[in-house]
């Protein structure tokens, strides 16, 4: 009897240890270098679909021309142009079927485009001038935002839907540009000149018009991304020391996200719920490094967090976009294996989801769950797995108490 009890305890301890190791091992994390178009040496990613299967951006082709690309299943597709030499993709719909960006036409004018497999690259027109560019697209691909020249040759933020390009105005100055749009297309963010000539981050809705989001104490700010419901805006703004710092804006408050030890940072993308922000920042050595920010972990250098995925001196330089669930991050890096700057796709693994203490997710909260938390006790980070029961970035008393309070449930 004693031997069987001992064996049972050993099995429980071993099972709990396995759960703990799996929960803290990275959850199927991976880094994929997307390569380039044939014959050239660089590429950069700017958008990613909801499931991480489609990435868009731009790369040089064999003739040295920049071309918008759509990458899927290891294949980088050249999306062509509008008759000119160059094109750039900046945004993609949630399902990866609609791509938006900017391309040159036969007259050498830059034009906003919307691409689908069925239609190819379609020119969205302008506001009366010669040039335009698209930067963001709604989740279903029906709403596109960007900038376009008006008849007076002034840059104006636009919102395009059903073939109609709407001028969103300015903040009292002459120029504006839209960069992000909410999932349903109702909230647009970007930056515009105010009456004093300063760039200011804005948030636009049909009801409010263009609203100035303020700064971090300096004169200027620029918004680059927005959460799915439009309530969280990210970008960068000057602080009182006249340095640009990444910000996260919510409920009228602009939060300084700091840096990686240097004097500048920029936020470019945000998860659907507004809890995860990505961009780039200078570190203490003055190097540009891709970052991820969360309330629990602050600003972390992706090169440190995912060092195990980087080999031979490869570096993640800029994070441009993040999937709605916060799992996939894309941008620009240096691939040491090929010796070139390349677009990257970082799979950080499934995000932590708070739960009732069922660490091994077998429907029963028991000794195995309790021991898993104990084995991981004191660990901190953003990829702890289910042992971080309340998803606050640390395995501590709070997680242990959840397990204890619910002990025996489902068994």
Task: Give the pLDDT band (50/70/90) at residue 82.
Answer: very high
Those residues with Cβ within 8 angstroms of residue 26's Cβ, 6 or more apart along the chain or in another chain: 308, 349, 383
Do residues 38 and 75 lie in contact, with contact meaning Cβ atoms separated by under 8 Å? no
Six-digit token string for 270 = 């945000």
Question: Both ends of the chain: CA-CA distance in Å?
Answer: 23
CB 259 within 8 A of CB 288: no
What pLDDT shows up at residue 366? 96
**pLDDT at res. 41:** 82
Q: What is the pLDDT of residue 10?
A: 46
Domains of the chain, start order: 2-25+356-405 (1.10.1330), 30-347 (2.120.10.30)
* Confidence grade of residue 136 (pLDDT, cut at 50, 70, 90): very high
**Which has more pLDDT, 66 or 351?**
66
pLDDT of res. 60: 93
pTM: predicted TM-score of the whole model, two decimal places: 0.85
User: Of 8-12, 110-114, 331-335, where does mean pLDDT reach its minimum?
Assistant: 8-12
Instruction: Please state the rounded mean pLDDT for residues 63-91.
Output: 97
Q: For residue 26, what pLDDT is reported?
A: 40
pLDDT tens digits, one per residue of 213-241: 999 999 999 999 999 999 999 999 999 99
Is residue 15's pLDDT more than 50?
Answer: no
**Pair 385, 24: CB distance under 8 Å:** yes
Q: What is the number of helices (H) and of strands (E) in the chain?
A: 4, 28
Over range 355-362, report the average pLDDT: 93
Mean pLDDT of 272-282: 97
Q: How confident is the model at residue 352 (pLDDT cuts 50, 70, 90)?
A: confident
pLDDT for the residue numbered 371: 96
According to the model, what pLDDT value does residue 187 have? 98
Decide if pLDDT at 7 tops 60. Answer: no
Task: Kindly tell me if the per-residue pLDDT of 209 is higher than 50.
Answer: yes
**Predicted local confidence at residue 9, as pLDDT:** 41
Q: Bin 85: left if φ > 0, else alpha if -120 < ψ < 50, else beta.
A: alpha
Q: Would you say 161 and 185 are in contact if contact means Cβ atoms under 8 Å apart?
A: yes
What integer best gives the mean pLDDT of the chain?
92
What pLDDT does 392 receive?
Answer: 87
Mean pLDDT along residues 98-104: 98
Average pLDDT over residues 40-55: 95
CA pair distance 150, 339, nearest whole angstrom: 43
Radius of gyration of the chain, Cα coordinates, nearest whole angstrom:
23
Residue 39: pLDDT band (50, 70, 90) is confident
Torsion-angle region of 209 (φ positive above 0: left; ψ -120 to 50: alpha; else: beta): left
Q: For residue 384, what pLDDT is reported?
A: 81
């Amino acid at each position: 009897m004693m031997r069987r009890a001992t064996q049972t305890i050993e099995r429980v301890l071993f099972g709990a240890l396995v759960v703990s190791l799996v929960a803290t091992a990275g959850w199927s994390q991976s880094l994929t270098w997307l390569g380039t178009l044939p014959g050239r040496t660089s590429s950069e990613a700017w958008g990613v679909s909801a499931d991480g299967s489609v990435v868009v951006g731009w790369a040089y082709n064999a003739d040295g021309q920049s071309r918008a690309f759509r990458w899927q299943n290891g294949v980088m597709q050249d999306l062509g142009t509008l008759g000119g030499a160059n094109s750039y993709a900046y945004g993609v719909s949630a399902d990866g079927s609609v791509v938006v960006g900017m391309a040159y036409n036969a007259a050498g004018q830059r034009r906003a485009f919307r691409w689908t497999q069925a239609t190819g690259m379609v020119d969205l027109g302008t506001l009366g001038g010669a040039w335009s560019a698209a930067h963001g697209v709604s989740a279903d691909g029906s709403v596109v935002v960007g900038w376009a020249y008006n008849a007076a040759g002034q840059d104006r933020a636009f919102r395009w839907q059903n073939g109609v390009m709407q001028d969103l105005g300015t903040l009292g100055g002459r120029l504006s540009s839209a960069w992000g749009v909410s999932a349903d297309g109702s909230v647009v963010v970007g930056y515009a000149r105010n009456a004093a000539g300063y760039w200011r981050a804005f948030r636009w809705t049909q009801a409010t018009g263009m609203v100035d989001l303020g700064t971090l104490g300096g004169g200027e700010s620029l918004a680059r991304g927005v959460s799915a419901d439009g309530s969280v805006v990210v970008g960068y703004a000057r602080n009182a020391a006249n340095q640009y710092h990444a910000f996260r804006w919510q409920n009228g408050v602009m939060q300084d996200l700091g840096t990686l030890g240097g004097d500048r940072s920029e936020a470019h993308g945000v998860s659907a719920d507004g809890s995860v922000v990505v961009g780039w920042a200078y570190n203490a050595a003055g190097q540009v490094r891709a970052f991820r920010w969360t309330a629990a972990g602050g600003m972390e250098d992706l090169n440190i967090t995912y060092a195990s995925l980087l080999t031979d001196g490869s570096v993640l330089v800029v994070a441009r976009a993040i999937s709605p669930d916060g799992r996939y991050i894309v941008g620009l890096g240096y691939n040491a294996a090929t010796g070139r700057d390349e677009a990257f796709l970082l799979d950080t693994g499934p995000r932590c989801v708070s739960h009732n203490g069922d660490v091994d997710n077998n429907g029963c909260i028991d000794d195995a769950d309790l021991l898993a938390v104990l084995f991981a006790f004191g660990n901190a980070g953003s990829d702890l797995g289910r042992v971080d029961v309340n998803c606050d970035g640390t395995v501590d008393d709070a997680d242990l108490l959840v397990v204890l309070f619910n002990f025996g449930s489902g068994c």
